[in-house]
């Protein structure tokens, strides 16, 4: 009897697995293939992710290889998108710039961020502004927009330069890892500018906070790659089934506890400054919130902690990955390095501020080209349709996931000549600029629409300040002969091996 029951349960389990892995996703995908969308990259549960892992671990050594080469494939040149799967859900990947533009305009009305893509992040760190929707998102976005006002960004240039100098001076000059160095700069600047606090006055997991958070992120990435976590992550985490579930939850709580302590310390300090009549207390979000009568409840303080985490990870990851990739490309191309060096040193006697940064045309071109070729955000965070609606010529069903493949257009000859060439000159050539401007949605390194990156101008200022300091301070570096530019996916796009070089200061 027991054997019969076990056999029956086994068959039921296999049937359910086959239904979830093949029948359900293929049936739902057929709704879109009948409309003319091409089905690509169907793999049970993994979908496009499988192809990216294959490219990452194969001879291409580039997780984005297939997507970068799609525009060069004659059979795929007229694609405006394709449909794949993630789990048992159909996912529409938009390629056409006009279709991407329409989606970005509609996203707040018809979509919310996919539960598959956000569930674990929300469980670990809360919603913040990144994962909020509707009126809640609008309120948080409005609050954050006050901290990215032009005048406030201008006030932070000196902070960026001071932190950059301090962090580079702390490194072993014979072995400077660009990614780790700029991670620390980005993280420290993010918290200092956002909260008005020096996080290095605190410790996390018995070490300085940036190192502690990086240690936790590495642990979290291993946890997220576990097959059981992929299939049942939310359930396992909520019920603390495994030791790894408990360890990950405990780590996230310790990070939140640290930031809450920082926030409370800054609130006390800022209140004291206000009570003493000091005026220079309006550059952090805490002083702005206190002036608006906020931060009086535990709930408001906890929400600020979550917003701080959002900002910290964005500041640390985006800037560091971009600068590390930029360093590789200028180090690899002497003519680009020499031209950039010449421009930056031609202004060496001028103060580094927002206004003077406008003179660095070639530096801006190098940054834009880095964002195109190796930007940290080739996709959106996946969205889920909240209701049936039309997108272009397609009918989108409620529950379908949609994403934008920005990198497809970055490597499309329709907009960028010789797209696999790292060529900053394209951003200074009027004819090429006109080609890029054919469609305003062809180049969106910081996304677009109402949910674009709120910190993009701060990030651009920070990258410029770091690069100007670096080029004024150090001579040309050499990329080690054994360095391999192997692109992988972690929290964002980065290289498997981190570019580490010996630096020599210029003679003043």
pTM over 0.85: yes
**Tens digit of pLDDT for each residue in 337-375?**
999 999 999 999 999 999 999 999 999 999 999 999 999
- Report the relative pairing of strands 493-495 and 111-113 from DSSP bridges: unpaired
- Residue 316 tokens, joined: 């640390």
Residue 281 above 70 pLDDT? Answer: no
pLDDT value, residue 400? 96
**Tens digit of pLDDT for each residue in 68-120?**
999 998 677 788 999 999 888 999 999 999 999 999 999 999 999 988 778 77
Is 453 annotated for ligand binding? yes
**Tens digit of pLDDT for each residue in 291-305?**
878 888 888 888 888
**Tens digit of pLDDT for each residue in 4-44?**
888 888 888 898 889 888 999 999 999 999 999 999 999 99
Nearest to 247 by CA among 230, 228, 210, 222: 222
Secondary structure of 287-329 in the HEC alphabet? HHHHHCCCCCCHHHHHHHHHHHHHHHHHHHHHHHHHHHHHHHH
Q: Band of the pLDDT at 280, cuts 50, 70, 90?
A: low
Full set of structural domains in the chain with CATH: 35-501 (1.10.630.10)
- The CA–CA distances, whole Å, from 86 to 43, 55, 97, 232 equal 8, 18, 23, 14
Residue 142 above 60 pLDDT? Answer: yes
């Amino acid at each position: 009897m027991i054997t019969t029951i076990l056999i029956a349960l086994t068959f039921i389990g296999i049937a359910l697995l086959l239904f979830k892995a093949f029948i359900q996703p293929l049936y739902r995908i057929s709704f879109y293939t009948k409309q003319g969308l091409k089905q690509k990259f169907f793999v049970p549960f993994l979908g496009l992710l499988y192809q990216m892992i294959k490219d990452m671990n194969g001879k291409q050594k580039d997780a984005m290889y297939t997507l970068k080469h799609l525009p060069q494939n004659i059979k795929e040149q007229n694609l405006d998108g394709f449909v794949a799967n993630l789990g048992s859900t159909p996912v529409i990947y938009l390629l056409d710039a006009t279709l991407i533009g329409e989606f970005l305009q509609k996203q707040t009305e018809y979509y919310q961020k996919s539960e598959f893509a956000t569930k674990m992040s929300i469980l670990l760190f809360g919603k913040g502004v990144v994962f909020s929707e509707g009126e809640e998102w609008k309120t948080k976005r409005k609050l954050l927009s006050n901290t990215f006002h032009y005048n406030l960004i201008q006030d932070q240039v000196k902070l960026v330069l001071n932190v950059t100098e301090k962090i580079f001076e702390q490194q072993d000059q014979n072995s400077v890892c660009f990614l780790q160095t700029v991670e620390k700069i980005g993280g420290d600047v993010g918290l200092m500018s956002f909260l008005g606090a020096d996080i290095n006055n605190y410790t996390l997991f018995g070490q300085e906070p940036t190192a502690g958070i990086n240690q936790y992120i590495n642990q979290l990435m291993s946890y997220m790659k576990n097959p059981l976590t992929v299939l049942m992550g939310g359930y396992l985490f909520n019920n603390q089934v495994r030791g790894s579930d408990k360890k990950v939850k405990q780590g996230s709580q310790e990070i939140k506890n640290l930031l809450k302590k920082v926030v409370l310390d800054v609130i006390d300090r800022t209140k004291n400054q206000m009570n003493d009549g000091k005026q220079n207390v309006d550059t952090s979000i805490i002083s702005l919130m206190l002036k608006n009568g906020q931060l009086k409840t535990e709930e408001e303080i906890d929400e600020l902690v979550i917003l701080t985490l959002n900002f910290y990870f964005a500041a640390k990851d985006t800037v560091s990955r971009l600068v590390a990739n930029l360093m590789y490309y200028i180090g690899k191309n002497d003519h680009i390095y020499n031209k950039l060096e010449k421009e930056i040193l031609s202004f060496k006697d001028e103060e580094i501020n927002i206004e003077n940064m406008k003179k660095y045309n070639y530096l801006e071109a190098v940054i834009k080209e880095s964002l195109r070729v190796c930007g940290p955000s080739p996709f959106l965070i996946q969205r889920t349709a909240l209701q049936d609606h039309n997108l272009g010529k397609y009918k989108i069903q409620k529950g379908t996931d949609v994403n934008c493949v920005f990198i497809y257009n970055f490597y499309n000859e329709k907009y960028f000549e010789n797209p696999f060439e790292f060529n900053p000159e394209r951003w200074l050539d009027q004819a090429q600029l006109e080609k890029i401007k054919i469609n305003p949605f062809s180049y969106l390194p910081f996304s677009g629409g109402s949910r674009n990156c709120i910190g993009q101008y701060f990030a651009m200022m920070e990258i410029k300040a770091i690069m100007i300091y670096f080029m004024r301070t150090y001579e040309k570096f050499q990329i080690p002969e054994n360095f391999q530019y192997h692109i992988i996916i972690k929290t964002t796009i980065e290289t498997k091996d981190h570019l580490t070089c010996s630096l020599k200061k210029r003679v003043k």
